[in-house]
Chain A
């Protein structure tokens, strides 16, 4: 925990009896692109607003770069924020918006203007300083909000779903641009989003939140390949789940009785979950499932739906005795609805989770 740049200790926030953030611990490293990911109402925005100083926690402490900021107002904190609505001041032009926070920085007018010019160049909107806020497009407003926050050279930049209001193509372009800007300025970014693809593609690490609690903190690859519970596995990407009971373990392979899905195998299962008789959940990603080959697991089913997406096809395969069809993503699938297929996957692909 000694490399924590932002340290959040057991933060709790209640709104008229409802616990919005529940005993959250986080440690965010210096220069990191850190995302808070979760469905709406999971407490991610409340947590961000407590780091910014717009809400005060009922319990717990927040430190930024060793400085206790828990009771400081927003104007005394070394953080700046990009708001979901951008909050561009409508009565000021672009340059005055960007320079808003510099008035108190003790700079000369020339230094201020130089910083504003620099910021306009960074967001690739040079010569736009005299524009009024209502003459800007959504993407331009977004960039002005970013420049207005970064021009103060904060220790931490907080971003509250800043790309939510943009259309898909602009959003994807901004994701790349935002990531590049973050690498260039080297400032710690804390990014709130409900879009798992956005979080996976941009972040160094992600905290997945649900009902006010942090479920897992990990880098994107670990989150996708080694989720630590059903909720995380379900929220990030698509996942097939099989309920089963551990039969026994031999070497690094654990055998699981999954009822109608037959006997399934998993490799390197945690000790706590590998004792015979333990009720577990076996999870497999759609793209890890192979069609038409006999491997360590083999299931016979019928294609109930097939969607061709160019680079790959998505199939729904119904297996007798299983409630939900199995999702399969295959690169060269030629099967149509109604075709009989056999499914298999490697023991490595199976993730074993506790059953809640």
Chain B
């Protein structure tokens, strides 16, 4: 075995520090959400679940949660459907300017959300479309579609083209080939894309804040609650729940993505 050298020990400490900086603040969320005090400070006073009870009793929160779920589902479905079409086109056909198309669809990832939010707001005003959850869906699809395309393209890339050709050769047309061969083989990618785009939409604040009008999504509701110091523990409880659900969904998404038969060429072929 290799002896740990001095450099390795420093690297180890660096990694520990880095992870602590990354995750300790996040861990304070669930910690203080069970603390029996309205003040977020050490020492901890006592264990309570009353903040969770208050959270569950809040009807405005229910409405915001329901809005976020509706937006999330719609965004997940639309951006995954668009991503599926784009990924198939970009990986299967010799598209003129395919690289440029991919670049432009990914661009919203690199434009600051605040800029994106304002520009969509101006556009919607110009065409006279009222602000509602619909406009939030529009904005979210713009930032979620690149995620869907990336996830689905990696699935299509590792997929032997002759599988689809073999299906055509055996008598199926393009449509039935898609349902009998392509869809089952990219299904893990589709599920993974649905989950990821849902989470991105569910957690998104800035664009929703600009485009939601009077219908608050959950992050907007939380932002509103932060004005009242005595409500902070309730927000922490809500944050803890969202955190755990998000983590679970991401883990499932990544697990499903690597799952199943991958349709790659056998080794040596």
Residues of A within 8 A of B (CB): 52-54, 73-75, 79-81, 83-91, 100-101, 103-105, 133-134, 138, 141, 148-149, 152, 165
Cβ < 8 Å to A, chain B residues 152-166: 160, 162-163, 165-166
Contacts of B113 in A (CB 8 A): none
Measured CA separation A75–B167 after assembly (Å): 8
Q: Kindly state whether residue B185 has any CB partner on chain A within 8 Å.
A: yes
User: What's the Cα separation between A101 and B167 when bound, in Å?
Assistant: 8
B170 at the interface (CB under 8 A from A): yes
Q: Are A74 and B261 in contact (CB under 8 A)?
A: no
| Minimum C-beta distance from B8 to chain A (A) | 39
Q: How far is the CA of A84 from the CA of B266 in the complex (A)?
A: 11
Q: What residues of B have a CB within 8 angstroms of the CB of A80 in the complex?
A: 169-170
Whether B171 contacts A101 by the Cβ 8 Å rule is: yes
Most A Cβ at <10 Å: residue of B172, B184, B260, B266:
B266
Taken together as a complex, chains A and B put the C-alpha atoms of A104 and B170 apart, in Å, by 9
Chain B hits for A103, CB < 8 A: 171
Also in contact, A90 and B165, with CB within 8 A (given A75-B173, A141-B266): no
B108 at the interface (CB under 8 A from A): no
CB B169 to nearest CB in A, in angstroms, measures 5
Indicate if B109 sits at the interface (CB-CB under 8 A): no
Q: Which residue of B lies closest to A160 (CB)?
A: B162
Q: Are B166 and A89 in contact (CB under 8 A)?
A: yes
**Chain A residues with CB under 8 A of B82:** none
Chain B residues close to A by CB (< 8 Å): 160, 162-163, 165-173, 180-181, 184-185, 260-263, 265-266, 268-269
| Chain A residues with CB below 8 A from B262, complex form | 90
B269, A84: Cβ atoms closer than 8 Å: yes
**How far is B168's CA from A52's CA once the two chains are assembled, in angstroms?**
10
B165 pairs with A54, CB closer than 8 A:
yes
Q: Given contacts A85-B265, A91-B185, are A152 and B171 in contact (CB under 8 A)?
A: yes
Closest-by-CB residue of A relative to B177 is A75
Q: Least Cβ distance of B101 to chain A in Å?
A: 19
Please report the C-alpha to C-alpha distance between residue A178 and residue B162 in the assembled complex, in whole angstroms: 22
Name the distance in Å between B249's Cβ and chain A's nearest Cβ. Answer: 25
Instruction: Identify the closest chain A residue to B166 (Cβ).
Output: A87
Shortest CB distance B263–A (Å): 5
* A330, chain B: closest CB distance, angstroms: 38
Q: Is the CB of A75 within 8 A of B261?
A: no
Contact B185 A86 (CB under 8 A): no
21 residue pairs bridging A and B, Cβ less than 8 Å apart: A73-B168, A74-B168, A74-B169, A75-B168, A75-B172, A80-B169, A83-B166, A85-B160, A85-B266, A86-B266, A89-B167, A90-B263, A91-B185, A100-B170, A104-B172, A105-B171, A133-B261, A138-B266, A148-B166, A149-B169, A165-B269
Are A87 and B162 closer than 8 Å at their CB atoms?
Answer: yes
Known: A75-B168, A75-B171, A152-B171. A89 touches B266 (CB 8 A): no
| Nearest chain A residue, comparing its CB with the CB of B94 | A16
In the complex, the 9 A-B pairs of residues with the closest C-beta atoms, listed nearest first: A101-B170, A90-B261, A87-B166, A87-B162, A85-B269, A74-B168, A83-B162, A165-B269, A104-B171
The CA of A115 and the CA of B265, in the complex, are separated in Å by: 27
Pick from A79, A85, A91, A149: contact of B261, CB under 8 Å: A91
A328 CA / B163 CA spacing, docked (Å):
47
